[in-house]
Chains A and B, each alone.
Chain A
Amino acid sequence: MGERPGRVRCALCLLAVLLGGAAMPESGDAVAARADFLLKFARLVEWPAGAQPVPEEPLVVGVAGDAAAAQAISQALAGRMLDENPVVVRRVASAGDVAGCHIVFLTSERDEASILAAAREHAALTVGESDGFAARGGVINFYEEDEALRFEINSAAADRAGFAISSRLLRLAKLVGEP
């Protein structure tokens, strides 16, 4: 009997290692983490009326910016499901491609202003990963702090765009305003 706790502990450790290897992206694997966060954002954000993803219809994620980065995130998201919605990744080369996207992920600052404007017009959630993206009008922006992935939220921009962001998400985010 005395051996059981030790044995259980060993089994739990093994399980934890296996699960960690399978489900959790390594801290280095920033793209996968970003893809993960993106899908979670989708769950914690309420779209404006009419722009809500329809059940069993695909959730369309548009990726703008560097082709390599876009390719990497597209691969990380391809084939995944958000609840009952299959995730579809689309390349956004210009502002004109924004229409029909639920989320637009900007990997660089290129065509940022036009894309942001188009996103606001088409009620698409904008997520970036460049410094000051949120202050420039983006809703959510990734940044790294102590080698951990963090994000900031421009709640004014979200309000403007008609998005309702869950308080739980807001609690974890660094809130930024526009200058």
Chain B
Amino acid sequence: MQDTRLGYRPINRRLMWWMMGTTSITLVAACAFFVFYDTQTGKRAMVDKAEMLARVVAINSGAALSFHDARAAHETLAGLAAADEVIAAVIYDASGQPFASHQNASGAAGGLAAPPAEAPGHRFQDGDLHLFHAIAFLDEDVGSVYLRLDASELAARLAWFLSVAVLLILTSACVSAIASARLRRQIVEPLEALVESSRAISDGDLSRRVLVSTQDEFGSLAETFNHMTAGLRNLVDQARQSIRELASVSRGLQERGAGLFRESRRQAGATGEVGHSVSRMITSIRDVNTSVEQLAETSHETSTSILEMDVSISEIASNMDQLTSAIDNASAAVTQLTSNIDEIVGDVQRLHAAADLSAGRVRELTSSVAQIAANAGESHALSESSRKEASQGMAAVSDTIEAMGEISSSFGHLRQRVARLADKSESIDEVVQVITGVAEQTGLLSLNAAIIAAQAGEHGTAFSVVADQVSALADRTRRSAHEIADLIDAIKEDTTAAVHAMQEGAAKVERGVERSHAAGEVLGQIIEKTEVSTNRVREIVESTARQSDDLERVDRAAREVQQIVRQINQSAHDQHAATGEIVEAVEHIRKLGGAVRGATEEQRRGSGHLTRAATHVAEMASEIAEATRAQQGSSEIIRHALRVFTEVAEETLRGAEEINASVAALSERATRLENEIDRFKID
């Protein structure tokens, strides 16, 4: 009611102003017209009367003027004493000189002097009427008469009229005020009640009822209004319940989304860790591979050396045979002894050299074997650690699979919730359609009300304002319903997007689970193969240890050979110096040769073992190399799987983020909707 904007004033005040304003204006105009008309009429009548008097005076004084009879003129003027309003009268002769004059008792006090003669005519001056009239006698202008009439009566009449007009205006204003008060009681108060209730409803207070006890159109309007408010209250109640459910569902969805997001992040972290472990494992496998390749190479070299040594030993054997035969021949052919001794010396020198070589090679072989042993140990340790890491990877993969399972089940719950949310959105949609229908019915109602108001004429003008406001309210309700519908559409879209995202997420989780299973299988294979290779490496280590023992014996024998050869060499030199000692020496040599033969036989046997062992080592190494290569291939597969897995995890994370964002938006809209609907007060 206190709204004083331009163009919006309370109806009762406007009605009052209009009534008072129109009445006052009409009255003022009427009064002004009547006063003007009356004044003019009064002036005309006064002038007519004065003219008549002047004419009478002129007729009666013409002869007196003509015959210069001032007495007669005076007598004529004295007749004017009967006319109260005449203040003064003067008769002028033809030359304009006052001829006779007369003053009434009222004007005598003023002692008025005769004004100079003027042309015929009249004027109102100083509240009096001044009139000049020509006097003719026998068609001859003989002079003129001047009359001064008191016009104060006219002014008095004007004042009286004005006071009557003011009184009339005041009376009509009072009557208007009283009528407006009555009108306010009969029309405006029910309207104000309606307006107040409408405003309360538009502010959201639906618990208001309009109390209009009259049986007229306002009563039926109030009844209709209350019906409408009750319908709105029902609708808002339903909408509020739906929205509360929606809000709680969206909050649950938000929590689930947050959980999903955490799970996804954990999954991504686990995947990262697995990737890191697999990379480390692959590096280790590569190292093992390198080591095994080195081992294979060394084994090959060892094998070659042993073969060479074998050849040398065979040469030694054959030389020893030759020596033996030579020694045998020596006893038979002493003459050839010297030369033979020389030969022997040369042969022994060669033998010495060969023995040195052999010893050196044996030493090399020993060191190689030691290196192999060390490498094999290292590779064993690496295999162990890789097997452990693979086991850890396996555990991480099973964790991942478990997490995937959880995510999948979360997705299932989430999908159910979202589906329920979609159902709720449908029901809200129905509610919104009902609201829109009611708003349109209200609009129709307001249109009908406007038509009724137009039929009611003046009395309906105020009512049509209410109809407009009801129409505005209906429009506002319709707009709110549209906004709710838009919100619901947005929620639906988001829900559909969430369902899609969740379906995609679920599919991705399924794929992730499959790939995790594949990764687990691959890791199991890796563990198996790593175990095989570890066993093999252990065997290599053991063989190498055995080989090392053999080699030690070989070495010892070689040293003895060397020693013996050195002795032989010494003996040959001694023999060369003292032939006498040759036979003895030969005999000794023969014995020694037998020993040598035995030794070489033994050595040959040893070298055969050695060769076999070396070959075995080489085979082992190549097998290990093959295994590590296979392992490497598996690692590549694992790495690929992990890359895919990481991508999937990232996608899942993104999906979870999207779901989170959608759910947050949904939750926010639900809260907003809840706030919006909470504005409506129902009870």
Which residues of B, 110-158, contact A by the 8 Å Cβ criterion?
Answer: 116-117, 138
Contact with B along A65-86 (1 / 0, CB 8 A): 0000000000000000000000
Report B-chain residues with C-beta under 8 Å of the C-beta of A168: 62-63
- Minimum Cβ distance to chain B for residue A92 (Å): 25
With A12-B116, A169-B63, A171-B63 as known contacts, state yes or no: A19 contacts B95, CB within 8 Å.
yes
Alpha-carbon gap, A112 to B409, bound state (A) = 170
- Minimum Cβ distance to chain A for residue B138 (Å): 5
Q: Does B97 contact A (CB under 8 A)?
A: yes
- Minimum Cβ distance to chain B for residue A41 (Å): 10
A16 in complex: contacting residue of B63, B68, B72, B96, CB < 8 Å: B96
Which residues of B, 79-95, contact A by the 8 Å Cβ criterion?
Answer: 94-95
Is B63 a contact partner of A149 (Cβ separation < 8 A)? no
Report B-chain residues with C-beta under 8 Å of the C-beta of A40: 66-67, 138
Report A-chain residues with C-beta under 8 Å of the C-beta of B397: none
Report B-chain residues with C-beta under 8 Å of the C-beta of A13: 96
- Minimum Cβ distance to chain A for residue B208 (Å): 79
Residue of B nearest to A150 (CB): B69
Q: Does A164 contact B (CB under 8 A)?
A: no
Q: Does A113 contact B (CB under 8 A)?
A: no
Alpha-carbon gap, A23 to B68, bound state (A) = 13
Is A23 a contact partner of B67 (Cβ separation < 8 A)? no
Q: Does B54 contact A (CB under 8 A)?
A: no
Is A172 a contact partner of B67 (Cβ separation < 8 A)? yes
Is A148 a contact partner of B63 (Cβ separation < 8 A)? no
Residue of A nearest to B66 (CB): A40
Alpha-carbon gap, A17 to B93, bound state (A) = 12
Residue of A nearest to B62 (CB): A168
Report A-chain residues with C-beta under 8 Å of the C-beta of B67: 37, 40, 172
Dominant secondary structure at the B interface: loop
Q: Does B627 contact A (CB under 8 A)?
A: no
- Minimum Cβ distance to chain B for residue A34 (Å): 12
- Minimum Cβ distance to chain B for residue A1 (Å): 17
Alpha-carbon gap, A131 to B72, bound state (A) = 23
A148 in complex: contacting residue of B62, B68, B97, CB < 8 Å: B68
Which residues of A, 30-56, contact B by the 8 Å Cβ criterion?
Answer: 37, 40, 43-44
Q: Does B467 contact A (CB under 8 A)?
A: no
Alpha-carbon gap, A9 to B97, bound state (A) = 11
With A9-B116, A12-B116 as known contacts, state yes or no: A172 contacts B72, CB within 8 Å.
yes
Report A-chain residues with C-beta under 8 Å of the C-beta of B117: 12
Q: Does A177 contact B (CB under 8 A)?
A: no
- Minimum Cβ distance to chain B for residue A8 (Å): 8
Alpha-carbon gap, A17 to B95, bound state (A) = 7
Dominant secondary structure at the A interface: helix
Q: Does B64 contact A (CB under 8 A)?
A: yes
- Minimum Cβ distance to chain A for residue B518 (Å): 127
- Minimum Cβ distance to chain B for residue A56 (Å): 17
Most buried by A among B66, B72, B95: B95
Is B64 a contact partner of A12 (Cβ separation < 8 A)? no
Residue of B nearest to A37 (CB): B67
Report A-chain residues with C-beta under 8 Å of the C-beta of B97: 16
Alpha-carbon gap, A80 to B348, bound state (A) = 217
Is A172 a contact partner of B63 (Cβ separation < 8 A)? yes
With A40-B138, A43-B138, A172-B63 as known contacts, state yes or no: A12 contacts B68, CB within 8 Å.
no
Report A-chain residues with C-beta under 8 Å of the C-beta of B63: 44, 168-169, 171-172
Alpha-carbon gap, A85 to B68, bound state (A) = 25
Alpha-carbon gap, A168 to B62, bound state (A) = 9
Report B-chain residues with C-beta under 8 Å of the C-beta of A23: 94
Report B-chain residues with C-beta under 8 Å of the C-beta of A172: 63-64, 67, 69, 72
B72 in complex: contacting residue of A24, A43, A171, CB < 8 Å: A171
Alpha-carbon gap, A43 to B64, bound state (A) = 15
Alpha-carbon gap, A43 to B62, bound state (A) = 14
Report A-chain residues with C-beta under 8 Å of the C-beta of B96: 12-13, 15-16
Alpha-carbon gap, A148 to B117, bound state (A) = 24
Is A20 a contact partner of B95 (Cβ separation < 8 A)? yes
Residue of B nearest to A8 (CB): B116
Is B66 a contact partner of A19 (Cβ separation < 8 A)? no
Report B-chain residues with C-beta under 8 Å of the C-beta of A16: 95-97
Report A-chain residues with C-beta under 8 Å of the C-beta of B116: 9, 12
Residue of B nearest to A169 (CB): B63
Which residues of A, 140-179, contact B by the 8 Å Cβ criterion?
Answer: 148-150, 168-169, 171-172
- Minimum Cβ distance to chain A for residue B187 (Å): 64
- Minimum Cβ distance to chain A for residue B527 (Å): 136
Report A-chain residues with C-beta under 8 Å of the C-beta of B66: 40
Contact with A along B37-79 (1 / 0, CB 8 A): 0000000000000000000000000111011110010000000
- Minimum Cβ distance to chain A for residue B70 (Å): 8
- Minimum Cβ distance to chain A for residue B271 (Å): 117
Most buried by B among A23, A169, A172: A172
- Minimum Cβ distance to chain A for residue B140 (Å): 9
Residue of A nearest to B67 (CB): A172
Alpha-carbon gap, A98 to B96, bound state (A) = 41
- Minimum Cβ distance to chain A for residue B77 (Å): 14
Alpha-carbon gap, A44 to B63, bound state (A) = 10
Report B-chain residues with C-beta under 8 Å of the C-beta of A37: 67
Alpha-carbon gap, A131 to B412, bound state (A) = 161
Alpha-carbon gap, A97 to B598, bound state (A) = 239
- Minimum Cβ distance to chain B for residue A45 (Å): 12
Alpha-carbon gap, A20 to B94, bound state (A) = 9
Report B-chain residues with C-beta under 8 Å of the C-beta of A44: 63, 138
- Minimum Cβ distance to chain A for residue B570 (Å): 181
Most buried by A among B69, B72, B117: B69
Residue of A nearest to B72 (CB): A172
Report A-chain residues with C-beta under 8 Å of the C-beta of B138: 40, 43-44
Is B94 a contact partner of A19 (Cβ separation < 8 A)? yes
Alpha-carbon gap, A9 to B95, bound state (A) = 12
Alpha-carbon gap, A140 to B62, bound state (A) = 20
Report A-chain residues with C-beta under 8 Å of the C-beta of B64: 172
Report A-chain residues with C-beta under 8 Å of the C-beta of B62: 168
Residue of B nearest to A17 (CB): B95
Which 5 interchain pairs have the tightest Cβ spacing?
A16-B95, A168-B63, A16-B96, A172-B69, A20-B95
Interface residue ranges, B against A (CB under 8 Å): 62-64, 66-69, 72, 94-97, 116-117, 138
Q: Can you list 18 A-B contacts (CB < 8 A)?
A: A9-B116, A12-B96, A12-B116, A12-B117, A13-B96, A15-B96, A16-B96, A16-B97, A17-B95, A23-B94, A24-B95, A40-B66, A40-B138, A148-B68, A149-B68, A171-B63, A172-B64, A172-B72
Interface residue ranges, A against B (CB under 8 Å): 9, 12-13, 15-17, 19-20, 23-24, 37, 40, 43-44, 148-150, 168-169, 171-172
Given contacts A40-B138, A172-B63, 4 further A-B contacts (CB under 8 A): A20-B95, A148-B68, A150-B69, A171-B72
